[in-house]
Structure 1
Amino acid sequence: MMKFNNILTIPVFILGLLISSVSQAEKVIEQVPSDTPKAEAGIVDQGYQIGPEDVLSISVWKEEGLKAEVLVRPDGGLSFPLVGEVQAQGKTTEQIQKEITARLEKFIPDPVVSVSVLKVVGNKIYVIGKVNKPGEYPAGRYVDVLQALSMAGGLTPFAAENDIKVLRKENGKDLVLPFRYSQVQKGQELDQNIMLQSGDVVVVP
């Protein structure tokens, strides 16, 4: 009879350990704040430079009054409570996040700021003419002429590949920058394969 009681005691002991483990796990879960900030998957790459009329989501952890969807104005600026004016055009979300964090430190200890792009409107390049998919395309930090032509589906058979132009407005002036496709493809005249800026137009005659 004693042996039988010992056999029953073992499962009861194991069951007690399981119940205790579950109870401890529940306590640990309860200690993790439910509102811990999570990284949001953005619609653009990290190097994307903000442009006018883009829409950003800006929030500060545990500060309900500091959460907003913000439109970047045509002049490239935006405003945010306690922070005031921020020049956003040409900056990445990380740069804006750091600037807002630095300014909020005057009012909030160790602020945790999140900045993400909700809508891309302003920062675009245009590829027109004899390409397979002419149109407008979002411009990241590193988009050169070859990449833009690839985004547009490549050249059509009758494109004048050595007479491509990049039209750019810079400091109030209109610039026309040449691009000789066949030469760049051969690894020559690579200085013509420039990084494109917001508003640039690639013309393929």
Structure 2
Amino acid sequence: MLEQTNTSSQISHRIWCGWLLLLLVASSGCRVIYPGRLPDGPQPCIPANVPREQAKVTLPDYLIEPPDILRIEAISLVPKAPYQLRVFDVLSISTTGLTQSEAIDGEYTIQPDGSIKLGHEIGAIQAGGLTSEQLQEQILAKLKEIYTDPTVWVTLVQIGAQQQVAGEHLVAPDGKVNLGHYGRVRVVGLSIEEAQATVQAHLSQYLEDPQISLDVLGYNSKVYYVITQGAGLGDQVAILPARGNETVLDAIGQIQGLQSNSSTRMWIARPGYNEQGGDQILPVDWLAVTQRGDIETNYQIMPGDRVYVSEDKLVAMDTAFGKLFSPFERIFGVTLLGTQTAQRIVFFNQPNQGFGGF
């Protein structure tokens, strides 16, 4: 009997030691093996020239992709002759031989109905579809009906379609930008200089030696990710624009620091394979980066990188136990509530019992 007691005690002692060892391993975390890595597979290989703080590199030429936002400025947009006037074109009209109060001198915009308003005496004149010379002759003929020796000059100042070219343009999912009257141009996969030349070549079908400037206003297609493990409550993913200068410390700062259920164990998962054919895993020593100012593992973030922040194992274990025991707690709570209710009903149904029983 004593031998059985000692054996049971030893088994119980071993079980408690096993639980304690499991708890210590879970709380400390593993700093060598990462999720998805085979124990006998390729190990992390970190080249010495990996860009990091104080040793950053410039990114290659930016390639335009959806949903980037481009800014186009019109430098010279001169239509090919003969140009027929269109709605919203701006004309400069000046005259001589008229009275001072009725003289025409200024800029006039062609209205949506294709006309321009030249005052009370002359009224509206249809301009849409005419060339500048034809409109000038039409205005002169109208003035000769009223004045003795009038002259008139009509000059095209700005074409209305220029407003559709200049401004901000979103790169559509098909990789094209919309230039309004001049159609759509495919710019996906091009550098800024190549896109500028492509747009100018497209506009040259309609304009005389067009000159524009093109730049990227919104760098929306190049991003990196910060994944925070949720300790059993679901991971959180933050998508941040890659501006080419961020480090791991910058990335964590963008998500307002580590959460209460996060550990200091983190790494960068970079798409592709390393020199040994394994995953590109760059472990980060958070305490060294933040407490000692060590730049060795404060790596530069590249577009497409995943900064993974592991969970606090104690919080994750507490969450797991909570999920495990929560159904039983509810069942026991309902059972206890039903038992107490039944006891009170029986108590009040007994003869000679009343409120004094409380």
Alpha-carbon deviation of 1:199? Answer: 1.8
Work out the CA distance in 2 between the residues paired with 1:139 and 1:160. 24
Normalised to the residue count of structure 1, the TM-score between the two structures is 0.52
| CA-atom RMSD in angstroms | 4.1
Alpha-carbon deviation of 1:57? Answer: 3.0
Change (3 A) 1:144 1:159: same
Q: Decide which of 297, 315, 338 is 1:192's aligned counterpart.
A: 297
Specify the code of the residue in structure 2 equivalent to 1:125.
Y
Alpha-carbon deviation of 1:83? Answer: 8.3
| Matched position secondary structure for 1:149 | helix
Specify the code of the residue in structure 2 equivalent to 1:52.
E
Alpha-carbon deviation of 1:184? Answer: 1.4
Say which structure, 1 or 2, has more relative contact order (CA 8 Å, 6+ apart).
2
Q: How many residues align?
A: 146
| Matched position secondary structure for 1:192 | coil
Normalised to the residue count of structure 2, the TM-score between the two structures is 0.33
Structure 1 residue aligned with 2:241 = 138
Specify the code of the residue in structure 2 equivalent to 1:167.
A
Alignment of 1:39-188 (within 5 A): 52-59=65-72, 61=74, 62-63=76-77, 64=161, 67=165, 69-71=169-171, 87-88=189-190, 96=192, 98-101=193-196, 104=200, 109=209, 111-117=211-217, 120=220, 122-129=221-228, 134-161=237-264, 163-170=265-272, 174-185=279-290, 186-188=292-294
Encode CA deviations 1:102-161: one digit per residue, 9 max, x unaligned. Answer: 5648x66582313343572x3221112259x85211111111111000001111245321
Work out the CA distance in 2 between the residues paired with 1:128 and 1:51. 26
Encode CA deviations 1:27-50: one digit per residue, 9 max, x unaligned. Answer: xxxxxxxxxxxxxxxxxxxx9956
Q: Is the 8 A contact 2:224 2:302 kept in 1?
A: yes
Specify the code of the residue in structure 2 equivalent to 1:144.
T
Specify the code of the residue in structure 2 equivalent to 1:149.
I
Specify the code of the residue in structure 2 equivalent to 1:194.
Y
Work out the CA distance in 1 between the residues paired with 2:252 and 2:287. 13
Change (3 A) 1:99 1:191: farther
For structure 2, the 5+ residue unaligned runs are 1-58, 78-160, 231-235, 311-358
Change (3 A) 1:157 1:100: closer
Task: Return the index of the structure with the highest Cα Rg.
Answer: 2
For structure 1, the 5+ residue unaligned runs are 1-46
Encode CA deviations 1:48-94: one digit per residue, 9 max, x unaligned. Answer: 956632233353514347838352768xx768989876634xx6xxx
Specify the code of the residue in structure 2 equivalent to 1:155.
L
Identity %: 19
Q: Is the 8 A contact 1:130 1:155 kept in 2?
A: no
Change (3 A) 1:87 1:51: closer
Q: Is the 8 A contact 1:78 1:87 kept in 2?
A: no
Work out the CA distance in 1 between the residues paired with 2:64 and 2:209. 30
Q: Is the 8 A contact 2:64 2:188 kept in 1?
A: no
Change (3 A) 1:51 1:123: farther
Specify the code of the residue in structure 1 equivalent to 2:66.
E
